[in-house]
Amino acid sequence: MDKLLLKYILRPYWRLTRSHTLGVQAIVVDEAGRVLLVRHTYVRGWHLPGGGVERGESVHDALVRELREEAQIELQGKPSLLGVFANFARAPRDHIVVFIVRQWDKIGAPVRSLEILEQKFFHPSSLPPGTIRGVEARLKEAFEGKPLSDQW
């Protein structure tokens, strides 16, 4: 029931009541050069950890909160900005700010929740089936020097 509530009731409500939506996502890189991906309960595919920036919250604070909630990760250094991407396929005024996070600590074991089914590290050149197109594009930009797009 929770997935249905989120997908069919809350998302359309948020789209109608918010003039702009802003999200943050993180390319969390481990010491082996692998990146963290998560699978959500309410949408298919592998995604970067992250989520929406709440009212009165800075982009940085949202990143810190989302990494704690979704991955049990605590930032230890300043993340670097990869870019800001328009995600108009999701909503006509949706943007995602993507950071690269290299300095971090694990503060707990992965927690399966109502939101997160699974989290794993993958090498950018061998992503799992179902990795969403936007994630693949961001990783090519971050690791292969592909030109940044302004679209998710």
Torsion of CA 21, 64, 101, 82, to 10 degrees: 20
Q: Which residue has the higher pLDDT, 33 or 42?
A: 33
State pLDDT tens for residues 56-113. 999 999 999 999 999 999 999 999 999 999 986 666 678 999 999 999 999 987 776 7
Strand 21-28 to 35-40 pairing? unpaired
Q: Structural domains in the chain?
A: 21-143 (3.90.79.10)
Q: Is the pLDDT of residue 6 over 60?
A: no
Mean local confidence (pLDDT), 11-16: 60
Instruction: Read off the pTM.
Output: 0.84
